[in-house]
Amino acid sequence: MSKTFFSEDHEYIRVDGAIGTVGISDYAQKALGDVVYVELPKIGARVVRGGQAGVVESVKSASEVYSPVSGEVVEINNTLSSDPAQVNQDPQGKGWFYKIKISNENELDTLKNEAAYNIYIQSL
């Protein structure tokens, strides 16, 4: 069974075993507006918790995507290059960015569960 965690930078990670699927939250995609471009990390890249792992651009602005945990990128969502609107349509489903082999599961403890994240975004 997978569990989903959120960072205060509005990235999510859905964890299933040692693999996490990373993207931006529904809150983030709404704040960005229509997504027109997504820059993803390369497969095999090592990312660190809080480090930049990509860029998402919308008609309003560009924003860095930060990795919620450290690890190695094992898969990217290639469909976003031809259809970046998936980020707006289904951010926590078909609009995922990359999958990571988590190197330090303890870093998940620094993230929020969905209930805590919802409380956090209500305070913004």
List, for residues 38-74, the tens digit of each pLDDT value.
999 999 999 999 999 999 999 989 999 999 999 999 9
Domain count within the chain? 1
Q: Is residue 77 part of a domain?
A: yes
Q: Give the CATH number of the domain where residue 14 resides.
A: 2.40.50.100
Question: Distance (Å, rounded) from C-alpha 108 to C-alpha 92?
Answer: 18
Q: Is residue 35 part of a domain?
A: yes
What pLDDT score does 2 carry?
83
Q: Is residue 14 part of a domain?
A: yes
What pLDDT score does 68 carry?
97
Question: Distance (Å, rounded) from C-alpha 113 to C-alpha 67?
Answer: 16
Which residue, among 28, 27, 26, 20, has the nearest Cα to 2 in the 3D structure? 20
Helices (H) and strands (E) in the chain, counts: 4, 9
What pLDDT score does 101 carry?
98
Q: Is residue 109 part of a domain?
A: yes
Q: Is residue 124 part of a domain?
A: no
114 neighbors 27 (Cβ within 8 angstroms): no
Residue 1 has pLDDT above 90, yes or no: no
Q: Is residue 50 part of a domain?
A: yes
Residue 21 has pLDDT above 80, yes or no: yes
What range defines the domain where residue 73 resides?
3-119
- The whole-number average pLDDT for the span 16-30 is 97
Reported as a single tens digit per residue, the pLDDT across 83-114 is 999 999 999 999 999 999 999 999 999 999 99
Q: What is the pTM of this model?
A: 0.96
